[in-house]
Structure 1
Amino acid sequence: MISEEKTNKHLILLKGFAKFILPITVGVGTLTALGLSLDNETWMKLWPLLTAYFFPPLGKESVIPAAIAVGINPLLIALSIAFIDSIVSLFVVWNYDLTKKIPLIGGFIKKVEELGRKGSKRYRWIKPLRFIGIVLFVMVPFQGSGGLVGSILGRLIGMKPWATWAAVTTGAFTGCLLIAYFANILKSILIKNFILGLTLLIVLLIAFILYRVAKTGNNQKNNPKRK
């Protein structure tokens, strides 16, 4: 009996260690292999952008177009960013409580949890849609809609870890590929017809600014400052 308990404890510890180390190993190993397989010029352009993706406010909506603008293959940058989201999600769903103890990230997770539990308008539409909701949320090319937040929300609405990871991964790959596709089209238009391309770019920029202004206004209405 005692021997069985020890065996079970060892298995639990081994399983926990595997869940911790596997995403890190796969992530680092894949990116290392990618770096070794690419020519030096491409890798020197790519790795700073992949690194920048980890630091807000930069997101896939800015990193992917920037990469395409400097000549990186659209498919390469799209799959690379989506892979990062997928690996981050896998680590979070497997090590959620541990992730909450990581400086800065832990505080951010608690903030998202609080907003989710309070029924924030930004997140509450996801709950009834569950899997599809997480997919759509991660697909949206705006700040705070990546693999980390998607994984947190999946947990909050009671989804199983594997379902959450699958939803985040689906949304990440779909969203990144769409962004890369349209960014590449815009680049082609700029090359062929600079005026038309510039006009489209300005329209998109204005639309983004209006969205941010409207979003800020809604946040101020929903969270009025106490006097």
Structure 2
Amino acid sequence: MKKILIPLLKILVPPIIGISFILAVGFSMDPDTRVKYWYLCLAYFFPPLGKESVIPAGIFGGDIYVPILNLKAHITPIDPNVMAISIALIDSVVSLFVVWNYDLVKKIPILGRFIRKVEELGRKGSKKYAWIRPLKFIGIVLFVMVPLQGSGGLVGSILGRLIGMRSSTTWLAVTTGAFLGCFAIAYFTSLALSNVIIALALVSILVIVLIILKVWRESK
């Protein structure tokens, strides 16, 4: 019985935690905001959308003019903390599911093929991931934290396994990186929306940082 129950719980617990949280938060909102919130949480699962686009989209609000329809639409903003916690929790839950059910996840058609591709790149010492290995825990935290395409909980969990980290350590690293990254994006988005000059400065700084990171990674 125990041999059946534990694997079953490992499959069911992560999605139950994630879905329950997102449903509870959504039902605490007004209907229009609820739809926006659920849509953004769902959209986060589909590339190329990432935390760097989903969180600002949630925080943004106000009256906007729709030229073709000649209408003024009101978009309700979502609290930055709610967006940050929600997206970070999704990464954390995805990571928990992957580290608990790695062999099972590899059998899922599209997901399995993606995991094998990441594993192959990691084993070949791809420059894209090579910098993480010597940093281990900190490397996974930074990888998940920095808002780059394909740097979420799924890939972070795969890389943690590849560099020999324990499942619990990998999950903790991914969760730490997710929360740090999401709260940073939420904070700077709120700051940017309050001042156009600050927004331009933040975008410029982000571009410079990303260029430096890209050059540094390619030089390794």
Fold shared by both chains (TM-score > 0.5): yes
Q: Name whichever structure is richer in helix by fraction.
A: 1
Residue identity matched to 1:91: F
Q: Name whichever structure is richer in strand by fraction.
A: 2
Distance 2:79 2:30 in 1: 12
How much identity, in percent, do the aligned residues show? Answer: 59
Residue identity matched to 2:189: A
Calculate the aligned-residue CA RMSD, in Å: 2.3
Structure 1 residue 138, shift from structure 2 partner: 0.5
Structure 1 residue 41, shift from structure 2 partner: 2.5
Q: Any conservation in 1 of the 2:50–2:149 contact (CA below 8 Å)?
A: yes
Deviation digits for residues 121-157 of structure 1 (CA, Å, limit 9, x no counterpart): 1111111211111111100111111000000001111
Structure 1 residue 39, shift from structure 2 partner: 2.0
Q: Which residue of 1 aligns with 2:22?
A: 31
Distance 2:202 2:135 in 1: 33
Task: Compute the TM-score of the two structures, normalised by the length of structure 2.
Answer: 0.84
Alignment length, in residue pairs?
202
Q: Which of 160, 167, 174 is 1:154 aligned to? A: 160
Cα 1:77–1:198, aligned 2, differ >3 Å: closer, same or farther? closer
Structure 1 outlier segments of 4+, above 4 Å: 204-208
Q: Which residue of 2 aligns with 1:124?
A: 130
Q: Which residue of 2 aligns with 1:54?
A: 45
Residue identity matched to 1:159: M
Distance 1:86 1:18 in 2: 17
Residue identity matched to 1:44: V
Cα 1:117–1:25, aligned 2, differ >3 Å: closer, same or farther? same
Cα 1:176–1:115, aligned 2, differ >3 Å: closer, same or farther? same
Structure 1 residue 46, shift from structure 2 partner: 1.1
Task: Compute the TM-score of the two structures, normalised by the length of structure 1.
Answer: 0.81
Q: Which residue of 1 aligns with 2:64?
A: none
Distance 1:33 1:202 in 2: 33
Structure 1 residue 67, shift from structure 2 partner: 1.4
Q: Which residue of 1 aligns with 2:13?
A: 22
Q: Which residue of 2 aligns with 1:183?
A: 189
Q: Which residue of 2 aligns with 1:89?
A: 95
Q: Any conservation in 1 of the 2:22–2:38 contact (CA below 8 Å)?
A: no
Structure 1 residue 15, shift from structure 2 partner: 0.9
Q: Which residue of 2 aligns with 1:101?
A: 107
Q: Which residue of 2 aligns with 1:223?
A: none
Question: Which 5+ residue runs of structure 2 have no aligned equivalent?
Answer: 62-76
* Structure index of larger Rg: 1
SS state of the match for residue 153, structure 1? helix
Question: Which 5+ residue runs of structure 1 have no aligned equivalent?
Answer: 1-9, 191-195, 219-227
Q: Any conservation in 1 of the 2:119–2:158 contact (CA below 8 Å)?
A: yes
